[in-house]
Amino acid sequence: MSLDKGKMDQTKGSIKESVGKATNNEPLENEGKQDKVAGKAKEKTEDAKNSVNDAIDKFKQ
């Protein structure tokens, strides 16, 4: 589920960034950039967590 949340944050960030650029609203543009970075971090964290869990499962067998 966190992976989905990461993708949603990236999409939300892209929209905010685009709207901020179109309306010349620098704070909104920056907020969008931050949302995109946070989404990417959540996605990478979930990927790492899944890799560790897979390794643990293989070790248990």
Query: Residue 2: pLDDT above 50?
Result: no
Query: Residue 61: pLDDT above 80?
Result: no
pLDDT tens-digit profile of 22-53?
999 999 999 999 999 999 999 999 999 999 99
pLDDT (mean) for 1-15: 84
pLDDT tens-digit profile of 13-24?
999 999 999 999
pTM of the model: 0.78
> For residue 22, what pLDDT is reported?
98
The residue assigned the tokens 């685009």 is 18
Report how far residue 15's alpha carbon sits from residue 33's, in angstroms, rounded to the nearest whole number.
10
What are the DSSP calls for 5-58, one per residue?
HHHHHHHHHHHHHHHHHHTT-HHHHHHHHHHHHHHHHHHHHHHHHHHHHHHHHH
